Structure 1
Amino acid sequence: MEPTLIKRSRPSPERLSRIVAERLERLLNRRGRSLTRLAEVSGVDADEIARIAAGRQAPSVGHLWRIANALGVPFGSLVASKERGDLLVIRKSEPQSVESVGGAFVSRALYPYDSRRPVEFYHLTIAPKHIERSEAHAPGTKENLVVARGSVEIVVGREPAAQLDEGDAIDFLADVPHSYRNLGVVPATIYLVMSYAEASDED
């Protein structure tokens, strides 16, 4: 059986790049940090950091996590919508999806960014047989996820691998390296709630 390709409506990379660039500029100004220093701390190539900050390159999931960790802010503070009143409809076409290099792992924010809430909600799609590895998040960060489609394997630090089938859920501390692996031949869908030890002071 041939693997099924992920089919989705892609948001404009240019729009996402602008959003990330604007948020990054604000965070760097608040912290008085240079792009050179950010590159050193995050481990992201300095030229790539410069292109991301200028809005000329759409960052990958991995790069965004490294940048967020280096700045000490939630992932969502770089990509999600700003706070807007008491009701917000997030359309599928809005540029809140980021993906790994090659597009095998797609993360879509399903919430308006709110600096007062230390919780984020994501829709994840993993291509068949793909393994997505994540570096350790900020201390105290927790992930709670449920598999909506497919079968996945979660490895957290040195813990034994956990296989999750459709409807299964897992909760773990994500401040250690961890990975998500799609065991099947169709795209896997996961809903992820990420909670931080404390709320960010960013707006």
Structure 2
Amino acid sequence: MDSKIGDRIKSFREKQDISVDELAERTGLEAEFLKAVESDDMYPSLGPLLKIARALGVRLGTFLDDQVSRDPLVVRLDEREEELTMHRHKDVAEFKYYSLGKGKSDRHMEPFFVEILPESGEDKTLSSHEGEEFIIVHSGQLSVTYGKEESVLGPGDSIYFNSIVPHNVSAHGDEKVEIYAVLYFPE
């Protein structure tokens, strides 16, 4: 990837002549957090990225895409590239997202292969955003909190939910979890 997501966000913000403080006001996110996103590529979850995309009038995928659109898009296992690293604590990368849709610029879903490290289980903060999520566990044990309901999923298990309901996804136990996740964000 030739430019980082943080660089792309900053570029979109500057092209629209929007200050960091104005973007903070539009998104409800702290200005300091937005500065960290732009300079350090730091993300605690997809929710804030979606808020930033909405405030700038673009799809989340716009931050991930090259300018090339391919249809059909085939992503070979050995061609996967880590696109997003989510940190709840600055020094620990708890989620590693590999985009499976990058390059198809007219997409309406965001498919990912995600590695979730055990440290993710330490923070059970719920988040919500518009849209839907479909997850299937590839390996390990996944803990999913959906509202007041908690589920533990194993390899081959799946879950499909409306992401407007507060939720949390994390590793269950002390091993890494690998999942395939498809997120849909309405326009």
TM-score, with length taken from structure 1:
0.71
2:96 matched residue in structure 1 = 106
Q: Is the 8 A contact 1:16 1:95 kept in 2?
A: no
Residues 88 and 190 (structure 1), Cα distance of their counterparts in 2 relative to 1, 3 Å cut: closer
Contact 2:43 2:85 in 1 (8 A): yes
Question: Any residues of structure 2 matched to 1:118-197 within 5 Å, and which?
Answer: 118-128=108-118, 130-131=120-121, 133=125, 135-138=127-130, 141-158=131-148, 160-197=149-186
Where relative contact order (Cα < 8 A, 6+ residues apart) is larger, the structure is 1
Report the number of matched residues: 176
User: Any conservation in 2 of the 1:38–1:67 contact (CA below 8 Å)?
Assistant: no
CA contact (8 A) 1:154 1:180 kept: yes
Q: How many angstroms does 1:134 deviate by?
A: 5.2
CA deviation digits over 1:37-80, x for unaligned, max 9? 11234344324423544xx3222243x63142144254332234
One-letter code of the match for 1:42?
T
Shift of 1:194: 0.9
Higher share in strand: 2
Partner of 2:23: 38
Q: Secondary structure at the match of 1:145?
A: strand
Contact persistence 1:76–1:113 (CA under 8 A) = no
Deviations, residues 173-202 of structure 1 (Å, cap 9, x unaligned): 01122101312322011100111223xxxx
How many percent of aligned residue pairs carry the same amino acid?
A: 22
| Residues 197 and 44 of structure 1: CA distance in aligned 2, closer, same or farther (over 3 Å) | closer
- Show CA shifts across 1:108-165 (max 9, x none): 2122254532111011111226336452112xx000010000111211123x212211
Measured after TM superposition, the shift of residue 20 of structure 1 is 3.0
Tell me if the contact between 1:144 and 1:171 (Cα under 8 Å) persists in the aligned partners.
yes
Query: How many angstroms does 1:21 deviate by?
Result: 1.6
Distance 2:155 2:69 in 1: 34
Structure 2: segments with no counterpart, 5+ residues: none
Q: Name the structure 2 match of 1:25.
A: 11
TM-score scaled by structure 2?
Answer: 0.76
RMSD, aligned CA: 2.8
Letter in 2 for 1:137: H
- Deviation >6 Å, runs of 4+: none
